[in-house]
Structure 1
Amino acid sequence: MKEQYGISKMIITADRGLNSKKNLVFLKSIGFEYIMSYKIRSGSKAAKAMVLEEEGYTYSSTDFKWKKCGFQSTVRIDSKSHEIQDQLLVTWSLKRERKDRKDRERIVEKSRNLVESKSRMKSEMKKGGKKYVQLTLMEDDQISFNEKQLEIDERFDGYYGIEYSDATLTPEQVLGAYHGLWKIEESFRVLKSNLEARPIYVWSEDSIQGHFVLCYLALVLQRLLEYHLHEKGIDFSTEAIQTAPRSATITSVNMDNTDIFIKNKATEGFTDILGVLGLEDIPPFGKKDKRKRAYLHTKK
């Protein structure tokens, strides 16, 4: 991509599932920067202490604060030690704190059920209930609830970490880039569901490639339309954008041997889409003219 499009700087943005030290060293070795989610609760002691240290935080409001810290770590790859010099952006929000607490309550309930009923151990362990279960083998397989681990986790409610390599990036740029990940996930969902990229009902290689090319082009047009709507201050979901043109239908009737049409009521979004595309809507009724069909969408 750097060679084909003449891009001088590449920044890889990914979630914490790809944030391994080996991956970070590899990206740096090929000249890429990165922005990665950092899992605070399983981080180093130094990182946890840095997160909980109140000094250095900037409060954007009473519900949100952030701070930027230097972040160093080491990793051995093929018997060679590598130093990683990064930045860590830590944020805390009241909204996330409430979400973290609510998510953990479900795990706590499963863990307590497991402790109280050993017969349910197997099923509950598969459902994520083992996090707060403590097993002491030296005491006749004593099972107890791990209150200490619960207390540790509660301290980090609301905190989120993002590790990144380019120290020249502002916190706003880092957050903006990382929050863009949801758009990628949504694009895959739109391709698979709304645009029906799968299942595939063709079998030759050319047909399969053609199928995906058409789906991709449809996605590009979808995103382009979203962009133009957003520029006008209009934000529609994928479903709303796709539903709007489908709602633009007419009813065809014959009166005195004359074909006329009556416009059916379309969704409000259809008018907005016509506006950003510079198209005029059809009149409420009139004679059918086979020479002027433009964007008219009729029911089958």
Structure 2
Amino acid sequence: MAGKLRNGWPETSGALIKDDLGAWMLNRVLWVTDSGFNSATNRAYLQRGGEHYIVCEKLRSASAAAKKALARPGRYHTVEGNLSVKEVRVGDGARAQRFVVCVNPEAKARDEIVRGNLLAYLERRIAGSDEWSKQRRDELVGELRQTPGVARFCRRTKDHKLRVDKAAIDKDAHFDGKWLIRTSDDTLTPTDLAKAYKQLYQVERGWRDLKGSLSLRPVFHHREDRIRSHIQLCWLALLLVRVVENATGDTWRNVRNELDRMHLVTLETKQGRIAKRSATTKGQSEILAALEMREPAQILDYELPTPAE
């Protein structure tokens, strides 16, 4: 498989994975992929045998059909929580393409903050550059291109001076909190399509957590049973993380940081040695209540003093 993936990845990966699933007798599949796998060739291949796909479209470098979908007016409908969707069809007849525009207000606010930070950084870098030589300004532009997302907000005047591009800011703000999905399935509702794509995000997030905070790799084991045990323990840890996040409504990092503030200390007194934990904070109490867990005992151990010889 590694040899097959070496040439043409990811363009050829859709065909490779589909052929492998066919060998496993899994020929009725709804494919959900991100924008990295979205090409006309892959979409056509995924529809072989009557199957369907849900793929994400790139917003800033969108295809002609995707640009029409984003520009099409229409009413959004709230499907769950903070997610709103709008269905758009581009084209007529058998060539019609179905899109769903999704908007998340929380993601929109986050995108605005990120762009504000990028613009503040850009303004600091170009401040005073009018007095520089053209070569030095060219070098600065080259440096800005190394920082993702910054260079697109920088423009040059006719006399090669650097300015913040207001038009680029307005264009970028149009995409705040949005994501666009394309599908070949006419039976699923916009709600089903949005939820299906969010499940892909959850799967990818699970892999990031496994490889990152839960340290699935590298595995410092050589025996197969130990490797399997390590992976299974990491999977159980991921399950615990998701249970905690769903119960508390907070991220695992925040929950862990709050609980890490609870300490066990050993006190030497005339009456003996006492192992006592720190006082429970308000945040810790809320977490334990959400998880339906009792607070740990205040005194975990007590030893009487040893009589002097």
Q: Where on the TM-score scale, by shorter chain, does this alignment land: which range?
A: 0.5 to 0.7
Cα displacement (A) at 1:199: 3.1
Is residue 2:62 matched to residue 1:43?
yes
| Structure 2 Cα separation of the partners of residues 188 and 17 of structure 1 | 17
| Structure 2 Cα separation of the partners of residues 223 and 192 of structure 1 | 11
Q: 1:217 pairs with 232, 238, 241, which one?
A: 232
Q: 2:218 pairs with 174, 187, 199, which one?
A: 199
Identity score, percent: 19
Distance 1:40 1:21, change over 3 A: same
Is residue 2:193 matched to residue 1:174?
yes
Q: Which residue of 2 aligns with 1:12?
A: 31
Is residue 2:174 matched to residue 1:156?
yes
| Structure 2 Cα separation of the partners of residues 96 and 60 of structure 1 | 15
> Quick check: 2:34–2:56 contact (8 Å CA) kept in 1?
yes
Q: 1:113 pairs with 126, 132, 140, which one?
A: 126
> Quick check: 2:32–2:54 contact (8 Å CA) kept in 1?
yes
Distance 1:216 1:171, change over 3 A: farther
Query: Which structure has greater strand proportion?
Result: 1
Cα displacement (A) at 1:90: 0.9
Q: Which residue of 1 aligns with 2:271?
A: none
> Quick check: 2:54–2:184 contact (8 Å CA) kept in 1?
yes
Cα displacement (A) at 1:89: 0.3
**What 5-or-longer segments of structure 1 have no aligned partner?**
74-82, 252-260, 276-280, 288-300
Q: Secondary structure at the match of 1:126?
A: coil
Which residue identity is paired with 1:131? Answer: R
| Structure 2 Cα separation of the partners of residues 146 and 182 of structure 1 | 33
| Structure 1 Cα separation of the partners of residues 258 and 120 of structure 2 | 42
| Structure 1 vs Structure 2 CA RMSD | 5.2
Distance 1:273 1:263, change over 3 A: farther
Q: Which residue of 2 aligns with 1:131?
A: 152
Q: Which residue of 2 aligns with 1:91?
A: 102
Which residue identity is paired with 2:33? Answer: A
CA-to-partner distance for each residue in 1:61-98, whole Å, 9 max, x for gaps?
9x97532122469xxxxxxxxx9754210134544444
| Structure 1 Cα separation of the partners of residues 258 and 24 of structure 2 | 35
Q: Give me the TM-score of the superposition, normalised by structure 2.
A: 0.59
Q: Secondary structure at the match of 2:98?
A: strand
> Quick check: 2:248–2:291 contact (8 Å CA) kept in 1?
no
Q: Secondary structure at the match of 1:179?
A: helix
Which residue identity is paired with 2:122? Answer: K
**Matched positions, count:** 264
> Quick check: 1:86–1:166 contact (8 Å CA) kept in 2?
no
> Quick check: 1:87–1:165 contact (8 Å CA) kept in 2?
yes
| Structure 2 Cα separation of the partners of residues 272 and 64 of structure 1 | 25
Q: Secondary structure at the match of 1:166?
A: coil
Which residue identity is paired with 1:118? Answer: D
| Structure 2 Cα separation of the partners of residues 271 and 146 of structure 1 | 49
| Structure 2 Cα separation of the partners of residues 210 and 30 of structure 1 | 41
Distance 1:249 1:185, change over 3 A: farther
Which residue identity is paired with 2:231? Answer: Y
| Structure 2 Cα separation of the partners of residues 8 and 113 of structure 1 | 56
